[in-house]
A and B are shown apart, each in its own frame.
Chain A
């Protein structure tokens, strides 16, 4: 379908649109905006105290919105002119390229060291520590989903289901049977992986968009079951009083057998936060390490082959069933582990934490990170969650901005910030094959 010719680009570049054209385009955009916003923004409805609907007009807001669209349209058009046609290849001098490559290689260790030092530097900044834990949770979720989406190429819109399964596994096992975090953690992982296989079986034959919708439906089913199975999960009220984690049996409390008392130091609630920080860091690094190792194993190679071409994969004798199932199970297991951590950190979970928005957020992190790049996912999580925090004051506009960012990113850089989709192994030398070798029945 890609029928755009180079000639089209050059002709577009040759006749740069003049001021009249830009003005006309902006005027049309403003007109469209006026119609779009006329009723939705120009009029505000609200149910009164007696249940009767009333409305009032907001023409000032409407005018402001239309003016913004008009101005924005001009700015976008000017930017586009300045940037040049989309197809242009920007030549980067080799020296800069090698410098970039060096920076890229150096950034991971630097980032890791900085992360290790965060609790030391910001020991007294509770807010930054909490934010760090949140970011790391999403880094782990992103890395987990990366196995499914980035490596195996299976679009999963219901990843939050495994997160929920992990969280509820730990919460219910701990509150009902008094099991400790360290016993529940692997159990949560196993249960989530089991759910991953459960989801994997029916969707084996599906691909692309269908797969996405079915995983979305699966995620919703899990959430609805959690809401409605009140006797087990507490329904919309959630589970409260989830035990805090212990340092292998030593509680982080001011009690006599607590860690502070054992070490003979003064107790501080920050100890627990720091402990949680290193705990999620360890879990995230475990995810990363396992993923990197798996990529070098035959199964990891099979995932990447599956992502590139499923039919070719089958023709080569790769068992696509087990390949897909292991991808789902592995990704789900990491989601479950992250879920268990989430439950122990919050101390309270409810179905509200496991909506489709979470799935979309994690998926956005993976896509923004370049689908397959571990470093990219980590950076994307930092940007996304950090960006979310910037908009904390504007609670209502947060998701609006998030959605817009997702659309714009797809248009601007569909391959993510750090595009990394080359298979790990490939032939270094292109072998020339004579055409008479590839005739039917010989090649």
Chain B
């Protein structure tokens, strides 16, 4: 039971990271109707930028941890958001009215570009960082097994919840959110009613990338490493989370992220670590077969 509780905590933390990435997938799919294959790599870029800005700040002699974290968070969000904007501008916008597979293939190409760009720019070796946030609380101790909640875990979950709240407000209450929802329903009609569709789509990519940057930074803080290849698997898992929650649905993406995180952690804890990715991918297949609209998604009606 204690072991289970500990795994539950770990799973929720991992799930928060997946959920943050999944929101980017689900938003883009909702508006443009394409899988942004490069989104996992945007997450990886976010991790790298957090790492580099952290190193620079530390070398300048800054020692106040909360200040460092805040600056790193803002810098990585801003630069990664620009990456998201650039990717959309270069690879997706010219293809918006092209045939169905074109954006998908362009996205795969972009994913290769980003992966190998970071490999060339920052080297192929894994980049470890020393633990920045240490300490934690012992929740309870039973039979010699300690259930711990570390500070970094608290930070990850709180950051996720805060961002999610801001984001929900953004979509539900602001002009931009209304434009986004309008574009999701009918782009032509939205354009006729004065919504700048191009700008709205760009902003969707920017927001998705900023959230992915947060996820990348949390990943860096939590696991203490980044490498150029981490975007691929994390991206597929986050996409699985988006599908599981119902693609197009924001609470669904978060819920799906939590579920995938929990399933992966519990699978590793009770079955086998080697097959944890197989488990996650199998869930994707099973969900798509039995629950194609996901947990909170709306059924897609095909019109002829």
Contacts and interface: CB of A to CB of B under 8 A. Distances in A.
Given A214-B288, A224-B278, A399-B112, A47 B117 contact: no
A91 interface: no
Interface stretch (B61-69, B88-96, B148-156): B88-96
Interface string A50-90: 01110100000000000000000000000000000000000
Contacts of A208: 100
B99 interface: yes
A400 B128 contact: no
B54 to A, nearest CB: 9
A228 B119 CA distance: 26
Given A43-B52, A209-B35, A221-B282, A410 B188 contact: no
Nearest to A404: B113
9 nearest CB pairs, A to B: A406-B109, A403-B112, A403-B113, A217-B281, A400-B116, A410-B106, A407-B109, A414-B102, A228-B274
Interface in B7-50: 29, 34-35, 45, 48-49
B111 interface: yes
A216 B232 CA distance: 11
B108 interface: yes
A363 B105 contact: yes
Given A220-B277, A415-B99, A40 B239 contact: no
Contacts of B223: none
Interface residues of B, number: 75
Contacts of A43: 52, 55-56
Interface string B117-145: 11111110111111000000000000000
A42 to B, nearest CB: 9
Contacts of A399: 112, 115-116
29 contacts: A32-B82, A32-B86, A39-B52, A39-B56, A39-B75, A40-B49, A40-B118, A40-B122, A43-B56, A44-B123, A55-B52, A205-B292, A212-B35, A213-B236, A216-B236, A224-B281, A311-B304, A364-B109, A396-B120, A397-B120, A400-B117, A403-B113, A403-B115, A406-B105, A406-B108, A407-B106, A407-B113, A410-B106, A414-B98
Nearest to B115: A399
Interface residues of A, number: 63
A246 interface: no
B195 interface: no
A249 to B, nearest CB: 40
Contacts of B101: 155, 367
Contacts of A202: 285, 288-289
A356 interface: yes
A107 interface: no
Contacts of B108: 157, 360, 363, 403, 406
Given A1-B97, A400-B117, A405 B109 contact: yes
Interface in A209-263: 209-210, 212-214, 216-218, 220-221, 224-225, 227-228
Interface string B71-95: 0000100010011001000110011
Interface of B: 29, 34-35, 45, 48-49, 51-53, 55-56, 59, 75, 79, 82-83, 86, 90-91, 94-106, 108-123, 125-130, 187-188, 191, 232, 236, 239-240, 243, 274-275, 277-278, 281-282, 284-285, 288-289, 292, 302, 304
A411 B112 contact: no
Contacts of A404: 109, 113
B239 A213 contact: yes
Contacts of A4: 97
A206 interface: yes
Interface string A170-192: 00000000000000000000000
Contact of A36 (B34, B79, B288): B79
A35 interface: yes
A438 B52 CA distance: 67
A39 to B, nearest CB: 5
Contacts of A2: 97
A212 B128 CA distance: 34
Contacts of A357: 112
Contacts of A400: 112-113, 116-117, 120
B98 A53 contact: no
Contacts of A227: 274
Nearest to A367: B105
B113 A51 contact: no
Contact of A38 (B79, B125, B243): B79
